[in-house]
Amino acid sequence: MAGDDAFSGGTLKRLGVRGRDGLRLAGYWADGPRSYLGVMTAGFPNFFFPGGPHCVPDNPRHPGDQVDFITGALVRARDHGRDVVEVGLAAEEEWTDLMAGAPLSWRPHPLPGSPLGGPAGETMGDAYGAFIFSEAGRAA
């Protein structure tokens, strides 16, 4: 699949990561990695992986941009009294499909007002519109 990083995708699967309801990342990614913006995958709240699959391999600044983006999401969650950040399945599917069809030399950058709309549930708008911010025990 275009945009997959064999090292980070495989490494993340070998770590034995588990998400909501015991979902294993290795099983969820059995047919290839899935992500939103290359930083998060649905069903794995509060699990960010900058530099993971579907990132920009030929842009040395991209992992730093991803860390800044993640930091912004965490600050926004804290500022709104939320402690769970996750991405919805629809946003993940749209991003993964986009990456599957995009040439390796081109990857869009998350921008405020992105057309990659947000999922149902409480969202905080702008660049974080596809993230769901909730309180522990009341996650989406």
Confirm if 66 and 60 have CB atoms less than 8 A apart.
Answer: no
Domain assignment present for residue 140? The answer is no
Most confident segment among 43-47, 97-101, 111-115: 43-47
In the chain, the number of structural domains is: 1
pLDDT beyond 80 at 100: yes
CA 90 to chain centre: 12
* Separation of alpha carbons 102 and 33, rounded Å: 15
71 within some domain: yes
To the nearest whole percent, how much of the chain has pLDDT over 70? 66
Is the residue at 1 inside a domain? Answer: no
Q: 139 lies in a domain?
A: no
Confidence of residue 2 (pLDDT cuts 50, 70, 90): very low
Q: Is residue 104 part of a domain?
A: yes
Q: When comparing pLDDT for 129 and 81, which is higher? A: 81
Quickly state the pLDDT bin for 94 (edges 50, 70, 90). confident
Predicted pLDDT at 121? 38
**Closest Cα to residue 45, out of 19, 81, 77?**
19
SS3 content of the chain, % helix, strand, coil (to 5): 35, 10, 55
Give the predicted TM-score (pTM) of the model.
0.73
Residue 78 forms part of a structural domain: yes
Domain span at residue 57 reads: 6-134
pLDDT digits (tens, 9 = 90+) for 45-92: 999 988 778 776 656 666 788 888 899 999 999 999 999 999 999 889
Is residue 127 assigned to a domain? yes
**Residue 110: which CATH number?**
3.50.50.60
Are the beta carbons of 89 and 140 closer than 8 angstroms? no
Domain assignment present for residue 85? The answer is yes
Give the 3-state secondary structure of 84-100: EEEECHHHHHHHHHHHH
Q: Can you give the pLDDT at residue 43?
A: 96
Residues with Cβ within 8 Å of 57's Cβ and at least 6 positions away in sequence, in order, are 3, 5, 104
